[in-house]
Amino acid sequence: MFRTALQGRSHITSVSRATLRLLATSPRCFQKKPTGGDVPNKKIDSHLNFLSKYYNQDLLQSIKITESLVDPETVLGLSKKGPNAKSKVAPTNESFDYSITDAKWQEPILYPNQPDKKTPYPSIPNVAAPDNTHLKIRFQSNKTDARPSLRDVAEEQATGIAKLTGLDKQKIRNLYSRAIYLRRVSCQTRKGKIPSFYCLTVVGNKDGLIGLGEGKSRDGMRVAIRKAHWNAIKNLTPIPRYENRTIIGNIDYKFHAVKLSLRSAPAGFGLRVNPNIFEVCQAAGIKDLGGKVFKSRNKMNTVKGFVEALTKQRSLEDLAAGRGKKVLDLRKVYYSA
């Protein structure tokens, strides 16, 4: 029986003839009961001693149980049929895959993009189109991969600037901000034109505090605006104002090719200035101003020149001390509306 089982399972290819002879006759030895009660059969012992040279104790126990259950006539009938004989214990259908009856094989195999009720392998879509709904994602989408909202970005930026400058986070979020000049630029190199983005931003609290910042980035305009806003808050500077509404006196200032002519105005005059200067006045808290831009009207230089002119103003105290007058007299005589 063990010989036929080996042929059916195809585990061992060659065994000595003496071993096969003993294995073929072993059922008769195992099935023959001892005559003296508990006295063991000598043939069984000699047969087990011979098999112990080739097999361990577990296999010997398995052989003993198997051979004791097989009828010797069955072994004789199989031996007469030759090497192509099939045992009743061995598989009768050679083409059948008995591995699928394994419990582990029957467990469903789940893939991240596996469709429902199709195991173990998902079907391959015919057309890779977004309207194919037979493929469903089983795993949860990672929220960190999603694009952050503008509110989250503003909160993170305000927290970082507060740690850097020491300003209150809520005051930073309440600042007036305006991107004045946005432009796509390119740098010509021997490898070609490298595109980049530029942004000029002005921020202020509308009460005498103003900052100007520039930002450049190759990753997109959004990153450039964020950098410009960060730099503008870091450059916040207080500016002197007359009665918290206009500049102190008239200003004629030249910045590169831009010539600025600014004059203070009475209350209720409004802002009659260049559109770019208007945005800066809104952030600085200047309500009454008249001005003119001569020669070049480049937006970038106009804004930079105006902010520089505001920061270089002399306060009323400095003017009064330089002229030997009181601040009150200086206000009434020179800057009364």
Q: What is the pLDDT of residue 84?
A: 66
**Positions of the chain with pLDDT under 50:** 1-24, 36-39, 336-337
8: which residues sit within 8 A by CB, 6+ positions away? 86, 87, 89, 90, 91
Q: What is the pLDDT of residue 229?
A: 93
Q: pTM, whole model, 2 decimals?
A: 0.54
* Cβ atoms of 185 and 203 closer than 8 Å: no
Q: What is the pLDDT of residue 325?
A: 80
Residue of 330, 282, 331 whose CA lies nearest to 306:
282
Token code pair at residue 116: 């429902």
* Cβ atoms of 283 and 254 closer than 8 Å: no
* Cβ atoms of 309 and 280 closer than 8 Å: no
Q: What is the pLDDT of residue 97?
A: 66
Q: What is the pLDDT of residue 116?
A: 60
| Structural domains of the chain ordered from first start | 2-81 (no CATH), 152-238 (3.30.160.20), 251-334 (3.30.230.10)
Q: What is the pLDDT of residue 194?
A: 92
